[in-house]
Amino acid sequence: MPHLFYGKPNGEFIVLDAHETQHLKVVRIREEREVFITDGEGKLYRCQILKIGKNESIARIMESKERREKILPVTLCVASQHWERLRWLVEKAVEVGIARIVVYKPSRGRSYSDKVEKIKLVIRNAAKQCARCRFPELQVLDNLDLPVEPSKTFVLHQSGEPLTLTQAAQYRNIVVGPEGDFTESELESLRSKYRLFNLGETIFRFETAALLVMGLMYFLNDPLEEG
């Protein structure tokens, strides 16, 4: 697919914000050219660019359709950590089709409640790059009160039992801890709610561990099978 852009439809038109307008300029799209635009909710629009302004552009919708995509029914809960590593992990979660991303704040973490729009922009750019038209849901928390069903959730932690394929297939929510580990009280609280698993003797960085499990869930959910 050619370059994909993002915008919200308004009747027969779509307005593209400053970020998307800059994207148009970078890839040298001119007025009257046709482009593809998504609303991030599963729709793909074929549009004609009518106006490219300084901070806003306007396109006319010529055709729209619901894009069929394989979305993993999986929630990734990741601790608020170093920005570059978190950004990288969010990008990979978008690429593999994770349905929901939860960024939570543990004791050994920083608040990202003021970075919601920044994370959403990472999601947008990653989705556009891999032509994903249904963006994952994002929640940013300042605590460890995770919005997940305990019976369908497991925590990646070295103190847990080894994770097997059979076990992984039973879960829909993954919790990845902070780089500096949970505090003892946090770990005790997590053990009272969720099951803990490890990935063997190797100590992985949090983003590596998350990527390994997301890849596992990708194939367990058989997204390559035509349905």
Residues 110 and 205 in one domain: yes
Q: Identify the pLDDT of residue 172.
A: 96
- The verdict on 109 and 193 lying in the same domain is yes
Residues paired with 57 in a beta bridge: 16, 52
Which domain-ending residue is among 26, 47, 66?
Answer: 66
* 227 part of a folded domain: no
The reported pLDDT for the residue numbered 226 is 44
Residue 227 DSSP SS3: coil
- SS3 state of residue 30: coil
* Segments of the chain with pLDDT less than 70: 1, 222-227
Order of strands across the sheet that contains 13-16? 4-6, 34-38, 43-52, 57-66, 13-16, 8-10
Q: Which of 174, 107, 118 is nearest to 142 (CA)?
A: 107
Domain span at residue 19? 4-66
User: Do residues 174 and 159 both lie within one domain?
Assistant: yes
pLDDT (0 to 100) of residue 1: 62
3-state secondary structure of 6: strand
Those residues whose C-beta lies under 8 Å from the C-beta of residue 114, and which sit 6 or more positions away, are none
Q: Which residues contact 84 (CB under 8 A, 6 or more apart)?
A: none
Contact, 23 vs 5, CB < 8 A?
A: yes
The sign of the dihedral angle between the CA atoms of 147, 215, 128, 123 is: positive
Residues 45 and 82 in one domain: no
Identity at 109, one-letter amino acid code: G
State how many domains the chain has: 2
C-alpha 70/C-alpha 60 separation (Å) is 28
| 164/107 same-domain check | yes
- Please give the angle made by the CA atoms of 101, 212 and 80, to the nearest 5 degrees: 40
Please say whether the beta carbons of 35 and 7 come within 8 A: no
Report the alpha-carbon distance of residue 227 to residue 214 in Å, rounded: 21
pLDDT score for 169? 92
Domain membership flag for residue 141 = yes
Considering 35, 66, 97, which residue would you say is the last residue of a domain? 66
